[in-house]
Structure 1
Amino acid sequence: MDIKAPDLGVDSAEVSEIMVEVGDVIAKDDNIILLESDKASVEVPSSAAGKVTKISVAIGDQVSEGMVLIELESEADSAEESSDSASDADQKADDEKDTNVAPETESAAEAKPAATESSAKPASNAGKATTHALPDLGVDEAQVSEIMVSVGDIVSAEQSILLIESDKASVEVPAPVAGKVEKILVEAGDMVANGQDFIIIVSDADTSDSQDSALAKSDDNVSKDNVSKDSADKDDSAAQPKTTGEPKQAAKTDTAASKTDSKLTETQVNEKLVDVYAGPAVRKLARQLGVDISQVTGSAVNERILKEDLFAHVKESLTTQKAAPASSGTISSGLPKLPDMSNTEIWGETDTQDLSRLQKVSIPQLNYNTLLPQVTQFDLSDITETEKLRGELKGGMKSEGIGFTILAFVVKATAYALTQHPRFNSHLSDDNTQVILRKSVNMGIAVATDDGLIVPVIKNVQDKGLKQIAIEIGELAVKARDKKLTTKDLQGASFTISSQGNLGGTAFTPLVNWPQVGILGVSEASMQPRWDAKTQSFEPRLMLPLSLSYDHRVINGADAAVFTRYIATLLADPRRILI
């Protein structure tokens, strides 16, 4: 039987998609082909049911009204052939009866079953089961995670029957045809590959023919008994949950059922994805495969999505390595990849060195600085008098085993300044609408070690004197260099001081340690000439360079200048802290 193109409303249209294959058993009104013109697209349904024996068009062909699209072996044709075979058998039986007039009723009774058996043979041949292979899974092999049907089940075309999983994703395999499950060739846990036979299905038409043939071979009474028994068995089977002998498998089946129930209907999907250019059949397949069709790129005319596009999307999902979260072993800077530096004529000779564990851990934190609008304010503090005071006190401190450096004064002065300017001792909220002010000053002190810079924390500095601060600075420095700092020693800082001590340099730009909003850099003090208005002459003064970096989202430039000068003033005369 030829299935022809109906009135398309245009002179011709292009074949955009062929929705059936040779060998498929289709029902009446099943969509078989997708045609597109410049203005619209239409899915052409089949005008009859049957088995596809030939496809007469190809994708890209121009089709007009009345052109043959496919050829079908319809159910009517099969029935007619069976009827012809039965008629031939009856005619043969009649001829034998006429020839052998002598035999009595017993001979005639034997002839009738013979005719019945003869007519049943074609139907028996038509009931042959078909073995189906797995489609392209997108990977070399994957594991059968769940079998969603059982032997004897009646399945519809495109119904999900297997759940296949790889390391990256999972995909539901639909039934290739409608019919009765004759045999399942795989088990849960099996590793399967593309093209592997996985199920045997007797199609709907073949099933009915096979049943008719079976009934014809038995007498009426036996047939009725068997039908009653089969019916009762089916009712009992339907009333009882299906099991495979494995409780785990049964649980999976229940999960699959609930999963299917929770899926959107085709109408809901179509309403939600109105901007997606795809037909109902493609949308249905996308839903069964668990694919977000809005993420699929169409390859047909006007970017229409085909079934092949869905399979390609699934294949890419199965094979694409998901991005792994950043860890101490693998660190991403967010920058583009380095160029290929293997060409020595361009780059010269190179060598590689592993980063220390501390450096690797620091990189993710340092990457946050690219998101902060940082500004640095520079100033100088005249610490001539403060250094004299330190000289007077350090002898006594040394006798107690305490190292008394200028850093203790810097920590104390900065802590006091933070209590007077609490905005520098704060954090910006995640929604950028509030500033979280800290009531205590937990001062981070950057310490240089062989492995890199590390920042231990002195808690509640606002409540401690110079001597206690000096003691804790020394203790933390020793623990840092001996690699004995605990997690508690490194957490909770509200502000940071980075001192370069005697390393040299006149100023630098320290990086704000997020989520803090400020950091004070201290460079090496040096003797510089300063003008004294009272004596009208230059005098040598010990000047300490200060570099304050701050988060401009929280701190403005004027406040930063005032805060830096305030610290410089306190360091010049520590007695101000006592007022």
Structure 2
Amino acid sequence: MMSIEEIKLPDVGGDAVEVIEICVNVGDFIEEEEAIIVVETEKASMDIPASFSGTIESLNVKAGDKITEGTVVCTMKKAGAEEAPAVETKEEVKEVEAPVEKQEVKEETVEVEKTASQELVTQIEDVFVPDLGQDGEVDVIEIIVSVGDEVNEEDGLITLETEKATMDVPAPFNGKVKELLVNAGDKVKSGALIAKIEKQVAVETKVAPTIKAQTPAPSLKVEEQVEEKVESKVVEVSNEEFSASSKVYASPSVRRIAREFGVDLAKVKGSGRKNRILKEDVRLFIKEQLSKPAAAQASNGTSLGFNLPELKPIDFSKFGEIETVELSRIQKISGPSLHRNWVGIPHVTQFDEADITELEEFRKTQNTVFAKKNSDVKISPLVFALKAVAKALQIHPNFNSSLSADGQSIIYKKYINIAVAVDTPNGLVVPVIKNVDKKGFEELSTELKEISLKARDGKLKLEDMQGACFTISSLGGIGGTKFTPIINAPEVAILGLSKSEIKPKWDGEKFEPRLMLPLSLSYDHRVIDGAEAARFTTTLATLLSDIRLLLL
């Protein structure tokens, strides 16, 4: 049966209030708690929501009207309401009132007998993109499954390419793929819905309890429903109070839309009465922002930039033969990140050298020992650098920190995870080695080899790329004397290693040939000053010169 009910203005804590916005039209179907109108009291604006789902039959008020408590705002057609004799309904309500008020059931008057069993039921659950550890969208580069496929937990569903690497989004449970909501080439972000998977769940089925008491069984069910509705109302009120505290003139429903799309309402021009921001204003603002080129967004403060004159395109073919090659996906993603870090962090680079003559002799000796044992372990100079940096981070904790988002405090980390830049055919990626301070040289050598192979094969997972405290970028196998590495925010420093070479070093009596390793330490000057950076590189050089100090 269908019934038409009136929606009235509830007690809003004042006398007459003004209707400032009509959120629906006659004929609209709306859900429970969806806003019908917005009213303005002396202190704030608030939505008047629907108390049930249904269709708007009539609107009894218009924008600008002054209404009071009890005024009929609209009428709604409610679906699924069964008519019942008025007497029976009243009796049921009376029976419910007692347990709701007293919230107790006497044990001596109630005997409940329950039997339970389990059965498998089928349900469809949504699968979302996990936290990618970055803002913005990433590319879907491969769809691994098809609709109808049976998948096991941890089986890959799709492949994404983040700013650092490619990664599979796995199935969170066993089941059957019912729907795929993305295609190869789409852009998605953290929390995006990508698929629906059907799974079977074991649930308890309860036989209806036999209740021997004066209070009928339905009263217990209704009592639970009443409690649920009261709790949801409390949440709604707290949200409205929070919204009302802002200085921007906008209704809670408008603020909700703005939050969903990440819109700063302070930048939106309102077209309503008294410059009030309406839903249409937010939608128009979003459309305008999407249509703006990246340079325009940078100039108005929505991204980092210096508002420099636009570089006019040049036709290089006028000067000779050319070839245009598209950037790899990793380059497209990492480029803006590198630019953001370079212009957003005040970089300073400290240069130093470490005498690694004895270290290199020890390394070669140990590799010979491993070879005689037919072991696959081969210690590289980078492994010693990892251990030395871990020790230096313990001595100089400012380098194992991050600046808070508001720039008002420093967050110190009690763990030591070090990222290592790896050159791959598709571009630079930076996997992370966890708990370096707790691992030995042999374990680190094995892990470094494995993670480097995964990086070059494009098989790094998201967890392989997250949680770094500090980064090492080594060009020692290629060449160069020094360089200025770019800090990988939110880290505050990065160490560059160049090619070691034999140099004459004065020992107080004569010059001796020593193997010297160039060190280039870039640091965030907001957190670290020059003297501290010099002490860090001095500590690092000392540790590398005598690796026995790593044991202390």
Q: TM-score range by the shorter chain?
A: 0.3 to 0.5
Between Structure 1 and Structure 2, whose CA radius of gyration is higher?
A: 1
Report 1 or 2 for greater relative contact order, CA contacts < 8 Å, sequence distance ≥ 6: 2
Structure with greater strand percent: 2
Structure with greater helix percent: 1
Q: TM-score, normalised by structure 1?
A: 0.45
